[in-house]
Amino acid sequence: MINKEKFLLKSYELGIIKFGEFTLKSGILSPFYVDLRPLASSPVLLKELSQLLLGMIKDCRHELICGVPYAALPMATAMSLDSNIPLIIKRKESKNYGTKKMLEGIFAQGQYCILVEDVITSGKSLLETIEEVEKEGLKVKDIVVVLDRQQGGKELLENKGYQVHTLFSIEDVIDILYNHEFLNQSQVIKIKDFIKEKPKVQVSIPRLTYEQKLEMQKHPVSKKLIEIALSKKTNLIASLDISKAQEILNLADKIGEYLVAIKLHTDIISDFSENFIHELKKISAAKNFLLFEDRKFADIGNTQQMQFSGGIYKISEWADLITSHVIAGEASLEVFGESTGVVTIAEMSSKGTLTDENYKTKAVEISNKITNVIGCVAQSKLPASLLLFTPGVNLTESGDEKGQQFNTPEKVFSEYHTDFIIVGRGIYGALDSEKSAKKYQEEGWKAYLKSI
Ligand code: 5BU
């Protein structure tokens, strides 16, 4: 195993990062300058880099590899030689003679191509490469990047549904160099302030429509959810947190037409029975909505598996969707059956939650790796590869005395680009629940249309 930190320190000696005052192409004065091209002149380091980058894509589907010209060309070549993944070459400018091809090499339509980039800043040159590669009928899903300058490019691509695997962020580099006394504290502060304060490359990204998202879905449950949303013009999930089975059934029957799904906490139902599920399934089939058990699994895989299929609730037998924490790691999510859509909890809506940005990033990373995870519960934007479910939605209240924090449908669609709103007390706690469900359906759909 190659040590990332040692690799960085050896690369630093080649002069790949310089500190001082540099005027960037954009005219901005930057306290650091990055140029990874010298790595190509060190076969030893280039080989190590290739191993490190290959390590990040070992679980990704790949039939081809392509470097973004020019700096990443030797990197992609080294990776191809090390892994036997065939290389294709993207031209920077098309030839004005002969075939005028932009992609050189042997490839076939529909093949998955991994892209390699040295430094990501705005993501613009990557987007150009992606366009050329996709134009030739190839598929791009995963991108490996050596260094993220943390200026918005990674987020831009992730919002478009690509997965960006970065070896180092500029902050990682600064921390390593500081720990080895190549930088002093005042330099670190200056650089970190620059990263924080410097206006990020702002690219306003329109959200994807349900039609566009439908095309990206692989799981039958996520497909079904979006199909229902489109056919009933609703993105509303009602959370029926009610303790009497008959009351849930009555309400489901009344408001089912406005919903994509009903979310339950079966463990608060005092008279739960198989017959209740049987009746609820009949209503869900008649009114065309899915059943979502908000179990929030949070244990080791073995236990979760038993909790999912055993006990009195036998969730695996009827729930189309379930929620699970990611706290126990990747393997704990692999125990749910293939036909159930898993929604992981990346961020909670309550005051003081421990799900900070770092937690969310890790939760999203894990979620992207597991095939039956269709999305996350979160309170901010997600990469387009995951559907976003947002609870804590209420048109009249801003919170409760137990930590809940509410937002309006308008806010969660315009700011978070959510896909589905989850409403509990706003519906079952209303004087007229049917009228209220209709209102949330209309407001949710209006907010969606405004956000596209
Ligand atoms: P409310 O009555 O609209 O506050 O109900 C919200 C529901 O969503 C309730 O069932 C919660 O358990 C659930 N929820 C939430 O409110 N916030 C979260 O972060 C998560 C779930 Br995860």
Tally of domains within the chain: 2
Atom of ligand 1 nearest to the CA of 425: 2
Atom of ligand 1 nearest to the CA of 379: 19
The DSSP annotation for 7-76 comes to: HHHHHHHTTSEEEEEEE-TTS-EEEEEE--GGGGG-HHHHHHHHHHHHHHTTTS--SEEEEPTTTTHHHH
**What is the per-residue pLDDT for 370?**
93
Rounded mean pLDDT of 429-436?
98
**What is the per-residue pLDDT for 433?**
98
State CA 265 to chain mean position distance: 26
Same domain (yes/no): 49, 186: yes
Nearest CA to ligand 1 atom 17: 349
Same domain (yes/no): 233, 179: no
Same domain (yes/no): 275, 190: no
Same domain (yes/no): 51, 152: yes
Q: How far is the CA of 346 from the centre of ligand 1 (A)?
A: 13
**What is the per-residue pLDDT for 195?**
84
Q: How far is the CA of 328 from the centre of ligand 1 (A)?
A: 21
Task: Spell 357-380 as b/e; 16+ CB within 10 A means b.
Answer: eebbeebbebbbebebbbbbbbbe
Q: Cα separation of 321 and 179, whole Å?
A: 46
Same domain (yes/no): 253, 377: yes
Q: Cα separation of 7 and 176, whole Å?
A: 11
Which CATH number goes with the domain that contains 67? 3.40.50.2020
**What is the per-residue pLDDT for 151?**
85
Same domain (yes/no): 165, 101: yes
pLDDT level of residue 22 (50, 70, 90 thresholds): confident
Tokens (6 digits) for 195: 């990263």
Same domain (yes/no): 116, 240: no
Same domain (yes/no): 302, 444: yes
Same domain (yes/no): 295, 425: yes
In a domain? residue 378: yes
Domain range spanning residue 16?
4-197
Note the pLDDT tens digit of each residue in 36-47. Answer: 999 999 999 999
Q: How far is the CA of 9 from the centre of ligand 1 (A)?
A: 47
Note the pLDDT tens digit of each residue in 270-294. Answer: 999 999 999 999 999 999 999 999 9
H or E element at residue 263? strand 261-264
Nearest CA to ligand 1 atom 3: 424
Q: How far is the CA of 163 from the centre of ligand 1 (A)?
A: 29
From residue 143, alpha-carbon distances to 115, 116, 165, 182, 357 in Å are 5, 6, 6, 30, 22
Spatial CA neighbour of 85 closest among 57, 110, 104, 127: 57
Note the pLDDT tens digit of each residue in 237-249. Answer: 999 999 999 999 9
Mutate which of 268, 327, 349, 421 for ligand 1 pocket (most atoms within 8 A of beta carbon): 349
Q: Which of 139, 296, 381, 411 is catalytic?
A: 296
Q: Cα separation of 222 and 210, whole Å?
A: 11
Sign of CA dihedral 20, 21, 23, 29: positive
The answer to whether the beta carbons of residues 373 and 168 sit under 8 Å apart is no
DSSP designation for 294: E
Mark whether 299 is an active-site residue.
Answer: yes
Same domain (yes/no): 187, 281: no
pLDDT level of residue 205 (50, 70, 90 thresholds): low
Tokens (6 digits) for 186: 């005042």
**What is the per-residue pLDDT for 194?**
86
Domain final residue, candidates 197, 222, 257: 197
The answer to whether the beta carbons of residues 290 and 321 sit under 8 Å apart is yes
Same domain (yes/no): 54, 182: yes
Site residues for ligand 1, CB cut-off 6 Å: 239, 241, 265, 294, 345, 348-349, 377, 391-392, 394, 404, 422-426
Q: Which of 142, 148, 294, 320 is catalytic?
A: 294
Atom of ligand 1 nearest to the CA of 353: 19
Rounded mean pLDDT of 92-120?
83
0.75 surpassed by pTM: no
3-state percent breakdown (helix, strand, coil) of the chain, nearest 5 = 45, 20, 40
- Residue 311's region, left for phi above 0, alpha for psi from -120 to 50, else beta, is left
In a domain? residue 27: yes
Strands 103-104 and 87-90: antiparallel
Q: What is the longest distance spanned by two Cα atoms in the chain?
A: 77
Nearest CA to ligand 1 atom 10: 239
Same domain (yes/no): 226, 154: no
Atom of ligand 1 nearest to the CA of 404: 4
Q: How far is the CA of 398 from the centre of ligand 1 (A)?
A: 14
Contacts 24+ apart (CB under 8 A), 140-144: 140/112, 140/113, 140/115, 141/60, 141/61, 141/112, 142/57, 142/60, 142/61, 142/62, 142/114, 142/115, 143/114, 143/115, 143/116, 143/117, 144/53, 144/56, 144/57, 144/114, 144/115, 144/116, 144/117
In a domain? residue 202: no
Mutate which of 243, 263, 294 for ligand 1 pocket (most atoms within 8 A of beta carbon): 294
Q: Which of 299, 369, 381, 411 is catalytic?
A: 299
Which CATH number goes with the domain that contains 215? 3.20.20.70
**What is the per-residue pLDDT for 117?**
96
Q: Cα separation of 22 and 13, whole Å?
A: 19
Domain final residue, candidates 197, 225, 245: 197
